[in-house]
Amino acid sequence: MIQKVIIMVYNKRLDGRGFDELRSIEAKAGVIKKADGSGYFRMGKTVAYAAVYGPREMFPKFKQDPKKGVLRCNYNMMPFSGAGERVRPGPSRRSKEISFVTDKALSPVVDLNDFPNAVVDVYIELPQTDAGSRCCGINAAAIALADAGIPMRDIPAALAVGFIDGNVLVDLNYEEENLSHFIEGSEDVPDIPIAFIPSTDEITLLQMDGMINKENFMKALQKAKAVAVKISEAQRNALKEKYSKDVASNDNHEE
């Protein structure tokens, strides 16, 4: 009896994208009127809103820092935003961890030395997710902080990359993050969310789960760096668009 051996090679992406192609992205600034600054970022079917309030007095008081202001990020999935069952509202272990790493991803570019005892609150809400939600949230939050006029060195850009069968995959979606569920016999793709400071190429968020060797990992980072430029452009354009509109409407008032 001859046994057929099928070797699966992931040489074409499930959604037809090129290996270094992002999903369609969309960025907006100033989407939430009550907030001091706000942003919207969409990567494929993953959508994030971010609102910034502050600098304002920090409560509870024992968390105040008399030397500088504190950045406080809060990541939350809306109850209907998951692919499967309803997500229970309120913080989970996962959302607390993501809030924490988001904080660390954004803090290095934010200068709060002029605001002792104050807090800058960043609220990230996801109405719909399809993998890459922490990166999408960071992208929206970075726009929101800039929109709020918080002193910043740069605007971080984040995305997730993976690696399979000799190729780096850029901006994984849910199917690729769980490839073995969708393609029989396939291995799982390592998932590497990264955030860059574009002007210095420094990395402020780095996580990985999955199996990968060092050489391929470094390849994945290089590719991520190259593609992050596109996210950065979208963020900047969103801010420019909002402020050119603001300026135009101010001019009208003066007339």
Partner 1 sequence: MVDFETKKHIIECLDKGVRYDGRKNADFRILEIKTGFIETAEGSAHVKCGNTEVIAGVKMSVEKPFPDTPDEGILMVGAELLPMSNPKYEGGPPDATSIELARVIDKGIRESKTLDNKRLCITAGEKVWTINVDICPLNDDGNLMDVGSMAAIAAILDARFPAYENDKVDYKKKTTEAIPVSKIPIAITVIKIGNNFIVDPTELEESALDARLTLISMDNGELCALQKGGEGPLTLEQIDKMLDLGMKKAEEIRKLIKKK
Q: Which residue, 103 or 154, is less far from partner 1 as judged by CB?
A: 103
**Contact letters for partner 1, residues 200-219 (x by CB under 8 A):** --------------------
Q: Which residue, 45 or 236, is less far from partner 1 as judged by CB?
A: 45
* Interhelix angle 93-106/133-147, nearest 10 degrees: 50
DSSP code for 191:
B
Q: Which residue, 10 or 123, is less far from partner 1 as judged by CB?
A: 123
Binder to partner 1 among 81, 102, 139, 232 (CB under 8 A)? 81
Interface with partner 1 includes 34 (CB under 8 A)? yes
Q: Report the distance separating Cα 177 and Cα 179, nearest Å.
A: 6
Q: What are phi and psi of 179, to 5 degrees?
A: -60, -35
Q: 84 to 113, contacts with partner 1 by CB under 8 A? A: 84-86, 89-91
Whether the bond into 127 is cis, omega within 30 of 0: no
Interface with partner 1 includes 76 (CB under 8 A)? yes
Whether the bond into 60 is cis, omega within 30 of 0: yes
Q: Which stretch binds partner 1 (CB under 8 A): 2-10, 49-57, 152-160, 195-203?
A: 49-57
Interface with partner 1 includes 129 (CB under 8 A)? yes
Interface with partner 1 includes 115 (CB under 8 A)? no
Please choose, from the candidates 203, 202, 207, 204, the residue with its C-alpha nearest in 3D space to the C-alpha of residue 190: 207
Binder to partner 1 among 58, 74, 134, 164 (CB under 8 A)? 74
**Contact letters for partner 1, residues 52-71 (x by CB under 8 A):** -x--x---------------
Q: Report the distance separating Cα 48 and Cα 55, nearest Å.
A: 22
Interface with partner 1 includes 45 (CB under 8 A)? yes
The amino acid at 3 = Q
DSSP string, 8-41: P---S-TT---TTPPPPEEEEE---TTSSEEEEE
Q: Report the distance separating Cα 124 and Cα 76, nearest Å.
A: 6
Please choose, from the candidates 93, 77, 89, the residue with its C-alpha nearest in 3D space to the C-alpha of residue 132: 77
Interface with partner 1 includes 32 (CB under 8 A)? yes
Smallest gap, in angstroms, from Cβ of residue 225 to partner 1?
A: 30
Smallest gap, in angstroms, from Cβ of residue 112 to partner 1?
A: 18
In the complex, which residues of this chain contact partner 1 (CB under 8 A)?
Answer: 31-35, 45, 49-51, 53, 56, 74, 76, 78-86, 89-91, 121, 123, 125, 127-130
